[in-house]
Amino acid sequence: MNDNLTIQQTIDRYLNSVRLSRSANTARTYRNAMRLFITVLTVHQIDPEQELITKLGEEPVVWMTSALKDYSAHTEQCYLTAMVGFYEYLAGEDLAQINLPRVRLLIKQRARKPGIRLPQFPKSDIETVLEYAANLNQQETSNEIEHLINLRDRAFLLTLADTGLRVHEACNLRRGDIDWHESRAVIIGKGNREAVLRFSRRSLRAIKDYLSARAEMDGSSSKALSSLPVFARHDRASGKKVKPISTTTGREIVNQRVREALGEEAVGTITPHSFRHYFVTTILLASGNLKLAQELARHQNIAVTQRYSHLSDEELDRKYMEIFD
């Protein structure tokens, strides 16, 4: 244990370790957090420039949580994360006798609980995008590749909306995963868990249209058809190889089609996850069955499904009028 380091010197060393291992934004947040911590110590008659780090106990954590009540809940959470990191640093480097479980307990007892932020859900805009996507197969194109891209994007967006697939799951989908007779697929989903996926008629039809147009490309591949991706790249870099699209490409597909259907200002308001939200909400509105929505969305915790169960003002108005008129 180094008995000669002051609190200020130790904070400087801690922030330097953060700077070397974390992003610039995180380092800036931690620096601001420790600046506030120094102020808090000073207010309580502790001079960080003079006081040795070995004298530091857990009580300053309580002072810090009190000082953070004047800050937003988000800032409080970030700064307290920096504080926990500092105390873990002290314990790990054997710079002070720190009771880490007590530090965490003090924070847990005093910190505000972060509120649940409902996902953005522009339902009518999503339906406009889906209507636009459903007709991509009818658009005139200048070459076969453009036509394939239109068919792929049509199938991709309808599949996201009607199956609740996460974007990485859709990108990893293989032809052999789909049981065409049962209109379902067995996939390895979140948490490396096997899951059964069900397809709507329109999503399965869109996939079949796309794969049919891609038949020559798939047939010339040296790989087995069952191993080929459902959603493939159609760019120069991929050449004649049948390669799966990446999650980045999946997001770009959404952005491009949102731009075409709704305009530039709408880009970013709808993400691949918005279609999963649409999927869960559609089930809830049609059935009113939270357990059904949980199972189809493959949520481990029903509380996650409940986050999607809020209704719009328009829907609340309609339900109210149905009850009281």
Burial of 59 (C-beta count, 10 Å sphere; 0-12/13-18/19+): exposed
| DSSP structure class, residue 181 | T
Given 123, 168, 198, 273, the catalytic residue: 273
Given 154, 276, 277, 298, the catalytic residue: 276
User: Residue 85 is encoded by which pair of tokens?
Assistant: 């990191």
Residue 56 near residue 96 (C-beta atoms within 8 A): yes
Active site residue 28: no
**Distance, CA of 22 to CA of 206 (rounded, Å):** 44
Name the strand (E) or helix (H) holding 186.
strand 184-188
Provide the 10 A C-beta neighbour count for residue 148. Answer: 17
Given 166, 234, 257, 277, the catalytic residue: 166
Active site residue 198: no
**Distance, CA of 18 to CA of 32 (rounded, Å):** 13
| End-to-end C-alpha distance for the chain, whole angstroms | 75
> Tokens 């697929």 label which residue?
185
Active site residue 276: yes
Active site residue 147: no
Given 102, 190, 208, 291, the catalytic residue: 190
Given 152, 154, 233, 299, the catalytic residue: 299
Task: Give the dihedral sign, CA 289/291/292/294.
Answer: positive
Scanning 114-246, the segments in alpha helix (DSSP H) are: 123-134, 144-163, 167-172, 201-213, 215-219
In order of 49, 65, 174, 288, 297, the CA distances from 162 in angstroms are 61, 45, 17, 17, 11
**Distance, CA of 211 to CA of 180 (rounded, Å):** 13
Tell me the chain's radius of gyration from C-alpha atoms.
27
- The count of C-alpha atoms lying within 13 angstroms of the C-alpha of 271, restricted to the half-sphere facing its C-beta, is 11
Active site residue 44: no
Active site residue 310: no
**Distance, CA of 194 to CA of 164 (rounded, Å):** 15
**Which residues are designated catalytic?**
166, 190, 273, 276, 299, 308
